[in-house]
Structure 1
């Protein structure tokens, strides 16, 4: 166990050392894989990690048989601050590029398949015409995964429905609400029911989008009134649910933006907004971070309410 060194030694911690610590954590503590990501050799990364521990006077890494297997408690805390420091450096670089008038860059979006296809696709199409030098990268994930990616700086923006649990370092900004639509194949008995009720719906096999916050939301609604749901099959997203419904496997509830009578000709839809709370879409942003001008333009293309002045007031607010 290392003895703590006097605090002045912390002043000589280098960004490269923090980069190595973060890279090793992101590589599941595989130092060789982290070295590849850093375009460095494995011995060089190991040396940077040892030097960081020596500078801080702390054991940051758990080792077994000469291999790194995890982080100590001190390592976990150092990783949080290390990521934050590297994110601040990226923000400074962004300010520099913006002051030079650079129009190139990238936007990494953490989102679901359903949001990517039905909400973001037309936005990306319009945006890339205006900013041909900006690269768009889409990373798949649910609310919690998207929040983690934004928090860790792996994604610029998260676009999700049903915001994840509160986190002081990630900001969730709602921008649009959607009603749920019940979909069924043509001729299904549920389409002839005059008034839809939860009790009526519980009598038919369901295609449930699960695991997902939407699926949990639907199940909880039935559970509150002591009704069971006959889940015939689970689908990972709205498109798969539509395919299963079209094949006659059951009925499903999906966000209204994912259903169109014009394109979904093998399905029929009925509004179910009176039975379920609307689905709210939100963007996720890292607090106290600099966003390039083109990111603000992208967000305002997503929804007019996501304008720069409003977002800045939230990103840099002292109240989490």
Structure 2
């Protein structure tokens, strides 16, 4: 048995049993991946995959157990490398952050700028995607941490900590009929065309749930992932925008008027996520502390080491 076999097996499962894709990701050949897996099965004396002819179809019952052990072994190998990196170059290296567009555009610029000021030898890589893509990047260890308001808490292999709460705002151009309202109602919003996020993004589920609970059918005329796109169409008069409050700035968005909508759709919670069992470089807790003062560095370090229960220590 060797680490190459383990990596080939792990990547084959990640690529949904497509050995060609696994080989491409690992910069090797498809026959090489297939041969390594067959050799591993021979050494272990069990079939890892059930097959139809030469085509693998699914993990067998012992294959599930083998994969679980392989994941642990490769994670600990990566942890050993991180220990070496941390002590050889304690304040240098790379930090990869996965985040949704809203977090990357509106929350992280100051955080990354301050982090780089304190850690000039650390290169920051920013991956943007949907909440599901953020969670997947952390699970696959392509990102050290992820930042999003959905999906992260649904993954048992991720350790998630609450960062900060926020609300939606109803955003309209100046002169709109809602500009003079002091407190909006769902019934009132339902009479206007609405512009908001796509269904799995930025608290959209809570928006849909609030209208459904009130037995109202909202007129959603445009959905998007990008808050800047939503604001553009609101400015053009396409509809009332239901947009995350961190994306709205009175100084920057001078053509728009924002009205609180937290009483209608509830408070949303942004979380930071780490892969369970992965040893983090010493500068990662500093980064999380910069994201939110609710995540003090020392407590994050203890939580990542398993000394504290994050759900008990961190709450909003």
Specify the alignment match of 1:236 in structure 2: 225
Is the Cα contact below 8 Å between 1:163 and 1:172 reproduced in 2? no
CA spacing shift, 1:77–1:189, aligned 2, 3 Å: farther
Confirm or deny: 8 A CA contact 1:211 1:236 kept in the other structure: no
* 2:293 is the counterpart of 1:314: no
In structure 1, the residue matched to 2:314 is: none
Counterpart position of 1:253: 242
Q: 2:113 aligns with which of 125, 130, 140?
A: 125
Residue 221 of structure 1 and its aligned partner are, at CA, apart by 0.8
Where does 1:72-87 land on structure 2 (aligned, <5 Å)? 72-87=60-75
Runs of 4+ in 1 over 6 A off after TM superposition: none
Give 1:287's aligned residue: 276
In the alignment, what sits opposite 2:195? 207
What is aligned with 1:58? 46
Asked if the contact 1:190/1:201 (under 8 Å) is kept, the reply is: no
5+ residue gaps, structure 2: 312-316
Residues 91-128 of structure 1 show CA distances to partners (whole Å, capped at 9, x for unaligned) of 11111222223433222222211111111122122223
Aligned 1:31-180 pairs, distance under 5 A: 31-162=19-150, 164-180=152-168
> In structure 2, how many angstroms separate the alpha carbons of the residues matched to 1:218 and 1:69?
40
- Which deviates more from structure 2 when the two are superposed, residues 205-214 or residues 309-318? 309-318
> In structure 1, what is the equivalent of residue 258 of structure 2?
269
Give yes or no for the alignment of 1:22 onto 2:10: yes
SS in 1 for 2:5: helix
1:226 equivalent in alignment to 2:215: yes
Superposed CA offset, 1:71-103 (max 9, x none)? 334334433332232122111111122222343
Measured in 1, the distance between the counterparts of 2:94 and 2:67 equals 25
CA distance in 2, matches of 1:215, 1:36: 36
> Structure 2 vs 1, CA of residues 93 and 52 (structure 1 numbering), >3 Å: closer, same or farther?
same
TM (norm. structure 2) is 0.88
Query: Counterparts of 1:142 and 1:73 in 2: how far apart (Å)?
Result: 32
Mark the CA change 1:76 to 1:245 in structure 2 (over 3 Å): closer, same or farther: farther
Q: How many residue pairs align between the two structures?
A: 308
In 2, distance between residues paired with 1:282 and 1:135?
23
What are the ranges of 5 or more consecutive residues in structure 1 without an aligned counterpart? 1-12
Distance 1:173 1:244 in 2: 34
CA gap of 1:70–1:109, structure 2 versus 1, over 3 A, is: farther
Which TM-score applies when normalising by structure 1? 0.87
- Tell me: CA distance 1:63–1:107, structure 2 relative to 1, closer, same or farther (3 Å): farther
Residues 100-158 of structure 1 deviation map (CA, whole Å, 9 limit, x = unaligned) = 23433222222211111111122122223333432322233333332233223222101
| Contact 2:134–2:146 (CA under 8 A) maintained in structure 1 | yes
Cα RMSD of the aligned pairs, angstroms, is 2.3
